[in-house]
Amino acid sequence: MNQLLISFIAIPLLAFLVSLFWQNKSEKAIGSIVRFTKVLYILVSVFFAVWWVINGLQPIHYHVATLYQTDHFIFALELFYDEVTAVFSIIGAFLFFLVATFSKYYMHRDEGYKRFFNTILLFATGYNFIILSGNFETLFIGWEIKGVCSFLLIAFYRNRYLPVKNAFKAISNYRISDVALMLCMWMMHHLTNQNISFSELSEAKIMALQTANTGMAVFIVCMMILPAAVKSAQFPFTSWLPRAMEGPTSSSAIFYGSLSVHIGVFLLLRTHPFWEDMLWAKIVIIVIGAVTAIAATLIARVQPTVKTQIAYSSAAQIGLMFIEVAIGWHWLVLIHFAGNAFLRTYQLLVSPSVLNYLVHHQYFHYLAPAQKPVSKLKASVYMLGIKEWNLDSMMFTYLWSPFKWIGKQLQFLQSKIIIGILTVTAIAMLVLGYTHQIDFSSLGAALPVILMSIALAVILFAFSYRKSALTAWIYLLTAHLFIIAAVLFNADHIYFLEIVFYVSGVLVAFLVGYFCLQKIKRIDNDISLNQFHGYVYEQETTGLWFLFAAIGMLGFPVTAAFIGIDVLFTYVHSNQPVLIALMALCLIFIELSAFRILLRIFMGPHKKLNHPVAFRSS
């Protein structure tokens, strides 16, 4: 029966592949595939839960496969099932069924009907990877899949300005959580000298205490709390949640009302054995939850749009769940999660009908509000709520603007001579780092830091560059070469296969992306990053291939680079905070730069006047 756990992932994954390559685009055929998948998923989840209860409620740990193994590293797929998984899987199965059934009619005659259900099925795969994960590596696969699906559904109406802009805001926050989770895995590996499963977290905590590595344990817990707070839209990351409501209402229901937004709560529940005895961690989680609950409630009460009200209301309830997790009331958290998920899904699905009724009622029964004096305190709180406590502007001003400013100071890098010099230097350092033909020991630990700093500078330049997309794309490959060279000089020995994993995935993604950009350039010789081009109108297939190239460039689990990046992280030692910080920033801004090229070239309002163009405010 343990092998039946694979079916939780296999069912939506197979349905996604079938629907992706299904040539018949009729709504009836696609709807039948989706409904059959969701009914089968409900049957499997309920049947397995009943069998698990009958057999004594014992946690199940199942090793699926080992994808890569060396003396110091194991990349394995492992599944884990306990009461948390049981609740999340059953609730998820029923909500998937309800939303899919609703969407069959809600998305009727929408030009993106097939694309919508493709993405929903892929999200179901990522969601099951997360809730069934038995180790951090398996969880991270689902974490990445879910993030990309969220991005695609926020930007579902890809010919409009705001959905595309807000999709980029959401993916910017997601990338912080992605890298934080990678740092958590990295430090856990150095703490335990192995790749541990979630069932071994208690032993890892004991090991940290026995070896007096409390600093490492503190860092790991911080890197558990940060991605949980980001994914669940907790303070100060709350403002991305209402922006994510730009997608179809039914996708907003399943993503930001019910399942996706509760993944942070799941992460805290899953990692609870590691930090349950750390009072400071509990206080931090409680403070984050309490501040979010108070601020989000005050914002939700004064917002003029229904989706924004529901988004902040959901964030407030999740803040309470954070408090419950920290206190240890885990069964209450699971009940709270189920109630909040169903309520927010219902509210979002009926919101179009409710708005229609309220507009009709207001038209025929309008009463002017009575004027009454308002205290300065109430007026101040009201204005703060209307402005959403300026969370969005603060995040942009203090988190992203400094890096964009640095990138703008590096505009001298746009010279073709500089491109050539940097590319040749990167390849030379890559070869020297692997062969060790020249002794750089006099530089000590400075050389890896220098190379990683060059990589970050190149990436930040590409992130702020506003001219040729091809130039920015080439610089991203150059940055990858500098990253690999830095790790090579930092390690005593690296297996050649591990370099092949990384380079092969990145190089294939680069070539695919380069071909796509060249194809677009041949249309009208204009692929500048200074505006949106909207080429997905005329080159939808090319846009899809560039999407694959973008996610492959950043190490998404579609190429071997996904394993390669995880392996190379282990060669940065725990006593090298500067190097790991630079590497983390590189991985954050490589994704943002790649997605920025995707959005600017293929999405947004089309620049040609013979296509319908939506107003920016629509």
Among 149-163, 329-343, 397-411, 563-577, which stretch is predicted with the lowest mean pLDDT?
Answer: 563-577
Over 50: is that where the pLDDT of 327 sits? yes
d(CA 159, CA 155): 9
Distance (Å, whole) CA 158 – CA 165: 10
What does the pLDDT read at residue 614? 56
Query: How far from 493 is each of 433, 464, 564, CA to CA, in Å?
Result: 10, 35, 15
Tokens encoding 514: 């380069």
CB within 8 A of 421, min separation 6: which ones? none
Phi-psi group of 555: left, alpha or beta (phi > 0 → left; psi -120 to 50 → alpha; rest → beta): left
pLDDT, tens digit (0-9, with 9 covering 90-100), for 65-89: 888 877 777 888 889 998 999 999 9
pLDDT at 334: 93
Containing structural domain, residue 303: 2-359
Please give the model's pTM, rounded to 2 decimal places.
0.91
Residue 618 pLDDT > 50: no
CA distances for 472 relative to 221, 478, 514, 592, angstroms? 36, 10, 11, 12
**207: in domain:** yes
* Look-up of token digits 């190429």: 559
Q: What's the half-sphere exposure (Cβ side, CA atoms, 13 Å) at 174?
A: 27
**How far is Cα 243 from Cα 391, in angstroms, rounded to an integer?**
12
The reply to whether 388 falls in a domain is: no
Better-scored residue on pLDDT, 264 or 558: 264
Q: Indicate if the pLDDT at residue 268 is higher than 90.
A: yes
Q: Is there a domain that residue 521 lies in?
A: yes
Rounded to whole angstroms, the Cα distance separating 396 from 383 reads 20
Give 290's pLDDT tier (boundaries 50, 70, 90): very high
- What is the token pair recorded at 215? 């600093």
User: Do residues 18 and 134 share a domain?
Assistant: yes
- CA dihedral (344, 349, 354, 359) in degrees, to 10, reads 120
Segment holding 150, helix H or strand E: helix 136-154
- Mean pLDDT (whole number) for 371-393: 85
469 and 333, same domain (yes or no) = no
Judge if 445 and 353 occupy the same domain: no
Least confident of 14-23, 77-86, 147-156, 270-279: 14-23
Asked if residue 104 lies in contact with residue 117, where contact means CB atoms within 8 angstroms, the answer is: no
> One-letter amino acid identity for 547?
L
Q: Quick check: helix, strand or coil at residue 468?
A: strand
SS3 assignment, position 528:
strand
The answer to whether residue 381 is domain-embedded is no
143-178: pLDDT as tens digits: 999 989 999 999 888 888 888 898 999 899 999 999
Residue 236, preceding peptide bond in cis (omega within 30° of 0) = yes
pLDDT of residue 128: 92
Tokens of 29: 């055929």
Residues 446 and 545 in one domain: yes
| CB contact burial 540-570 (16+ within 10 A = b; e otherwise) | eebbebbbbbbbbbbbbbbbbbbbbbbbbbb
- What are the helix and strand counts (H, E) for the chain? 24, 2
Q: Are 234 and 262 in contact (CB under 8 A)?
A: no
**Residue 201, both tokens:** 């977290």
pLDDT of 610 over the 60 cut? no
DSSP 157-212: STTSHHHHHHHHHHHHHHHHHHHHHHHHHHHHHHHHSS--BGGGHHHHHHHHHHTT
Residue carrying the six token digits 């179009």: 352
Task: State the chain's mean pLDDT as an integer.
Answer: 86
Cα dist from 478 to 264, 458, 475, 550, 597, whole Å: 34, 8, 5, 15, 16
Kind and range of the H or E run holding 249: helix 249-252
Which residues, in sequence order, are bridge partners of residue 79?
62, 133
Q: Do 308 and 450 belong to one domain?
A: no
205 in the same domain as 93: yes
Within-domain flag for 135: yes
> Which of 467, 477, 422, 401 lies closest to 601 in space, CA to CA?
467
> Is 338 in contact with 258 (CB distance < 8 Å)?
no
- DSSP 3-state assignment of 367? coil
Identify which of 367, 366, 347, 364 has the alpha carbon closest to the alpha carbon of residue 355: 347
Start-to-end CA span in the chain (Å): 51
| 11: helix, strand or coil | helix
Structure tokens at 316: 């407030």
Tokens in use for 296?
């989000």
Place of tokens 């060249």: 518
Provide mean pLDDT across the span 57-64: 87
DSSP summary character for residue 74: E
**Main-chain phi, psi angles of 81, to 5 degrees:** -135, 125
Question: What is the average per-residue pLDDT within 39-46?
Answer: 91
82 CB neighbour count, 10 Å cutoff: 17
Give which of 241, 411, 425, 400 is closest to 318, Cα–Cα.
241
> Do 123 and 116 contact (CB within 8 A), yes or no?
no
| pLDDT computed for residue 615 by the predictor | 53
Q: Are residues 82 and 203 in the same domain?
A: yes
What's the number of domains the chain is made of? 2
**Band (313; pLDDT cuts 50, 70, 90):** very high
Arithmetic mean of pLDDT, 255-263: 85
Locate tokens 């992706």: which residue? 20
Q: Output the six-digit token pair for 602.
A: 């293929």
d(CA 5, CA 273): 23
Residue 608 predicted with pLDDT over 70: no
Q: How far is CA 164 from CA 232, 245, 304, 469, 534, in A?
A: 21, 12, 22, 18, 10
Q: What is the mean pLDDT of residues 433-458?
A: 78
Answer yes or no: is 281 within a domain.
yes
The residue with greater pLDDT, 574 or 278, is 278
> Residue 129 in contact with residue 587, Cβ under 8 Å?
no
Same domain, residue pair 422 and 286: no
Q: Is the domain of 325 the same as that of 424?
A: no
Report if residue 166 sits inside a domain: yes
Helix (H, G, I), strand (E, B) or coil at 56: coil
User: Is it the case that residue 540 has pLDDT exceeding 60?
Assistant: yes
* Other residues' Cβ atoms within 10 Å of the Cβ of residue 325: 26
Q: How large is the average pLDDT for residues 49-62?
A: 88
Whole-number Å distance between alpha carbons of 341 and 93 = 12
* Pair 273, 217: CB distance under 8 Å: no
Asked whether residue 99 is assigned to any structural domain, the reply reads yes
Together in a domain, 465 and 355: no
**Alpha-carbon span 328 to 269, nearest angstrom:** 9
Closest among 502, 462, 510 to 485, alpha carbons compared: 502
| Domain identity same for 415 and 301 | no
Q: Are 347 and 430 in a shared domain?
A: no
How many Å apart are CA 217 and CA 187, to the nearest integer?
8
Percent of the chain with pLDDT over 90: 28
